[in-house]
Chains A and B, each alone.
Chain A
Amino acid sequence: MTGVIGTLVAAVIAYAVLVLAGYLAPDWLVLVATLAFTKGLVALGIVALMRGGLVSFGQGTFYCAGAYAAGLAMRSFGIGDAALLVALGAIAGLILGGIIAPLLAGYRGIFFATLTLALSMIVYGILNKTYSLGGSDGLNLHAPSFFGYRPAGSENAGYALFLFTGLIMVIAATLCRIHFNSVRGLLSHAARDNEIRVEYLGASVRWINSVNFIIAAVLGGVGGALSALSLGHIDPDFAFWTTSGEFVFLAILSGYVSVTAVFVAAILVELLRSYSSQYFPNTWQGVLGIFLLLIILFLPGGLGSLALRLRPKGPEPAPSPAENLK
């Protein structure tokens, strides 16, 4: 159990650092970090899937569902509390993921990727034509309150949202880390390596993949709701395939070794985007593309594998249950 306690301590320290860093950092950086964290949350979901060997090209579905759940709750029911809105986003992701997961559980590789992509494009198409939800223009949201506190001034609101997003992020990352290190979580690695072996050993690959898919869906919904709050605007592009592609980009960049790497990667990409869109407004996408190619070529395990390489060689960890299955 020392692993869990260590993770919790690391999480508390990480959040304290975030609070301080956000206080010291300039406003624009706080905004960039907030956006990066929301996207990182969605990418974390893909990482959960990737550990089992699946890549979803349609996380936009859940991202969009979370955003619209928050947006509609704000518009129709006047709910303005960030925590409540994010919870609704998570529930939207959970319900949708729970419905879709069993349907997709039998698919692998490229078929899984294309099917998730098709689903997100269906959502995109429907939302574009649903005029009661704003059609292609989408909806505008106003600033949320935080547990009853309504920050005055945009500077305070930005910092408050950053703290809130950071909190959600740290909680999500901690839960994911604990799950990934658990026996159930480690089975994902085994399933990626050899499904049939895992089945013969008595575990259900269908179940493993479904659980991962639902985790990804919930994280997508949470990320979507938070994005909606930080952008103040939602539209069907949340479900467009290039949005989903961006999340896969983040997941590949970070790799599935480290949970922290996902958010480091998200901040890196978001900074790269804001710098290059300022200095090379017409070529920043191309810059991202080249960056992605280089990462895949030279760092196939993602940024997270870098941390593994740099880590000082300590005593060998005890073999985990999944290790013994190999």
Chain B
Amino acid sequence: MSAKLAAAILIDGVIDASWLFIVAVGLTLVFGVLNILNFAHGSLFAVGAYAAASAVGWYYGGGFGPPFFGYLLMLGAALAVALILGPLIERGVLRFFYRRDEVVLVLVTYALFLILEDATKLIWGAESYYASEPYALLGNVSFFGLSYVGYDFALIGLAVVTGLLLWFGLNRTITGKIVLAVIHDRDISRAMGVNVNRVFAFAFTLGVFLAALGGAFTAPKISVQPGILLSFAVVVIGGLGSVEGAAIAALFVGFARAAAIHLVPWAELFIVYLVMALVLAFRPEGLFQRTSARKI
């Protein structure tokens, strides 16, 4: 394998891992706090992407101001999606099902997935949206004679910042400690006076925001075809509910995909699931989750 090929796999992998991480960490957070494996996460990603594409299209179409302002607008679009859909779904639907089995909850989110898919189609129609302006804005970068779009590297930066903020927020702030306490044991937390319902609403909204953020910032990259299942695989490989696990697994999956694309193209579609099945076969709880005691 030549150095150039290795570099290409490495860089492509990291780029792929960046958006995967943003989406997967939201999924893992929601699972950690609410114990829900959210199948609708991918739809929320899509809603974020559409919202950002519409906002960006409107902004550049009108020529309202400095072009770099478009990035803030994308962030705003993701935030708006989260603030509307997060509380709506959590308070309006999910809270009625918290006492149920986690597999039933998966089905509830599957129903949400079906509903959101159609809602997205109703609002934005079936035609494609283009928001390529922000993509070209940062120019090109070249590495080892390979040319990359600068935006992709900005995306890596965004993923790193997101991860660090999330880590800091969870481990170094009061709110974060409370969230961790709820992840650990919701009943004890409630007994200690934590408003668990509010933590649920907050965590779910944050999860929606991360999905929408991933969607918003990958919308300009037309080539991205996100499968919800990809981020799903990342979360399962990393260990459900683990932020560090999501980061490592995102890199893992990113490299696996990049390697497959460059070396064995026909395996691209399923390499991730193969990795996932292998990891689950040896570590059912994922790479980074402590095994919990068996309840009798």
Contact = CB atoms under 8 A, between A and B. Distances in A.
B103 A125 contact: no
Contacts of B236: 114, 118
B118 interface: yes
Contacts of B266: 129
A241 interface: yes
A124 B269 contact: yes
Contacts of A293: 93, 108, 111-112, 115
Interface in A49-106: 55, 57, 103, 106
A115 B104 contact: no
B117 A248 contact: no
A286 interface: yes
B280 interface: yes
Given A286-B115, A297-B97, A248 B107 contact: yes
A124 B270 contact: yes
Interface string B194-226: 000000000000000000000000000000000
B103 A129 contact: no
B27 to A, nearest CB: 12
Contact of A289 (B100, B101, B104, B112): B112
A289 B117 CA distance: 10
A13 B119 CA distance: 44
Contact of A109 (B97, B103, B121, B281): B103
B287 interface: no
B225 to A, nearest CB: 13
Given A110-B240, A118-B280, A286-B119, A125 B110 contact: no
Among A55, A121, A249, A292, find the residue whose CB has the most chain B CB atoms closer than 10 A.
A121
A289 B113 contact: yes
Contacts of B270: 121-122, 124-126
Nearest to B110: A245
Contacts of B138: none
Nearest to B235: A114
Interface on chain A toward B: helix, strand, loop, or mixed SS? helix
Nearest to B35: A110
B90 interface: no
A262 B176 CA distance: 45
B92 to A, nearest CB: 11
A109 B37 CA distance: 12
Interface string B248-275: 0000000000000000001111110110
A107 interface: yes
Contacts of B285: 111
Contacts of B229: 117, 121, 241
A221 to B, nearest CB: 20
Interface in A192-206: 194, 196
Given A119-B277, A289-B118, 17 more contacts: A110-B103, A118-B280, A125-B271, A126-B270, A129-B266, A196-B296, A252-B104, A252-B107, A282-B121, A283-B122, A284-B118, A286-B114, A286-B117, A292-B114, A296-B97, A296-B104, A297-B96
Interface of B: 37, 39, 93, 96-97, 100-104, 106-108, 110-115, 117-119, 121-122, 229, 232-233, 236, 240, 266-271, 273-274, 276-277, 280-281, 284-285, 294, 296
20 contacts: A106-B284, A107-B284, A113-B106, A114-B232, A118-B236, A121-B229, A121-B270, A121-B273, A124-B270, A126-B270, A129-B266, A129-B269, A245-B110, A282-B121, A288-B111, A290-B111, A292-B114, A293-B115, A296-B97, A300-B100
